[in-house]
């Protein structure tokens, strides 16, 4: 992350604490985002989309229903991210905005890098390489892929709104395209 992007993100976090939620904690949000990512990615992998109603926006869920039905099993298996397999997490972008009716929203894009043992080809369509990591020696070797995912979390901060974060974008590059 560039120093400018890092400062910009921290400035937005300060605005969230000052004007929307004095108890907002980046660490707590990141912990919750990792848990949500793990749960949602596993449910996607298992095609249990009906269990995502409270976690994912209706628009995203509709798109996912179409995409998941077309995925090969290997790609679907690769969507699942065990919380212990998440290697790195960072914020991609933070936005604060108001709609035409004065409703206040905050959205935070989270980027996840995770290990997954799904049986994927070494290259995927478009010639993109899939990063692989091999654990163990020749007799017990286990191959895992280092995959990425981007999930955008949105919360309404208008007075009286539910204090829940909703996932409004799900991207698993090279898997869910």
For residue range 133-165, what is the model confidence (pLDDT) as tens digits? Answer: 555 555 555 678 889 999 999 999 988 889 899
Domain membership flag for residue 98: yes
Task: Please count the other Cβ atoms lying within 10 Å of the Cβ belonging to residue 73.
Answer: 10
Residue 29, domain member (yes or no):
yes
Within 13 Å, how many C-alpha atoms sit on residue 2's CB side? 4
135 falls within a domain: no
> What range does the domain containing 69 cover?
3-112+148-171
Q: State mean pLDDT over 44-60.
A: 94
pLDDT in tens, 59-93: 999 999 999 988 888 888 999 999 999 999 998 89
CA distance 113 to 61: 22
Closest CA to 96 of 88, 87, 105: 105
106 part of a folded domain: yes
Residue 128 placed within a domain: no
Whether the Cβ atoms of residue 31 and residue 38 lie closer than 8 Å to each other: no
123 in any annotated domain: no
Residues 164 and 21: their CA atoms lie apart, in Å, by: 12
* Non-local CB neighbours of 158 within 8 Å, separated by 6+ positions: 102, 103, 104
Residue 126 counted as domain residue: no
Total of domains in the chain = 1
Q: Which of 157, 154, 153, 165 is nearest to 110 (CA)?
A: 153
* Residue 142, domain member (yes or no): no
Q: Based on the number of CB atoms within 10 Å of its own CB, is 69 exposed (0-12), middle (13-18) or buried (19 or more)?
A: exposed
For residues 95-117, average pLDDT: 92
pTM of the model: 0.87
């Amino acid at each position: 992350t560039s120093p400018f992007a890092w400062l910009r993100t921290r400035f937005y976090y300060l605005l969230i604490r000052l004007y929307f939620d004095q108890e907002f904690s980046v660490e707590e949000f990141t912990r919750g985002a990792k848990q949500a990512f793990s749960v949602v990615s596993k449910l996607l992998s298992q095609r249990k989309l009906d269990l995502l109603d409270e976690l994912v926006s209706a628009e995203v869920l509709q798109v996912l229903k179409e995409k998941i039905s077309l995925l090969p099993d290997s790609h679907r298996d690769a969507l699942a991210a065990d919380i212990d397999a998440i290697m790195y997490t960072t914020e991609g972008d933070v936005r604060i905005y108001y709609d035409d009716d004065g409703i206040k929203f905050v959205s935070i894009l989270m980027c996840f890098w995770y290990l997954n043992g799904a049986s994927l080809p070494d290259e995927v369509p478009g010639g993109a390489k899939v990063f692989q990591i091999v654990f163990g020696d020749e007799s017990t070797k286990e191959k895992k892929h280092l995959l990425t995912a981007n999930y955008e979390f949105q919360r309404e901060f208008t007075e009286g709104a539910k204090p829940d974060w909703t996932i409004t974008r799900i991207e698993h590059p090279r898997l869910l395209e």
